[in-house]
Amino acid sequence: MIKLYGFGPGVEQPDPSPFVMKVMILLRMAGLPFEDRRHCGCLQRPTREAALH
């Protein structure tokens, strides 16, 4: 199973990233199953504990 990481829904779009949108469309056109992983936490700032390690 392909895991597609993105930012989550945007303004009237499944994802604001044009790159994620392109991959989503190509995967659907090819009929390949994929898991849409939204809100991956990649925009969150690091915590103090993570910065010290």
- DSSP sequence for 17-51: -HHHHHHHHHHHHHT--EEEE---STTSPPPHHHH
3-state secondary structure at position 14: coil
Does pLDDT of 11 surpass 60? yes
Percentage of the residues of the chain whose pLDDT score is greater than 70: 72
pLDDT band at 32 (very low <50, low <70, confident <90, very high): very high
pLDDT band at 28 (very low <50, low <70, confident <90, very high): very high
Does pLDDT of 26 surpass 90? yes
Report the domain count for the chain.
1
Compare 5 and 53 and report the one with higher pLDDT.
5
The dihedral through the CA atoms of 18, 21, 27, 33 has a sign that is positive
Domain that holds residue 45: 2-52
pLDDT computed for residue 14 by the predictor: 83
Rounded distance, CA 6 to CA 18, Å?
10
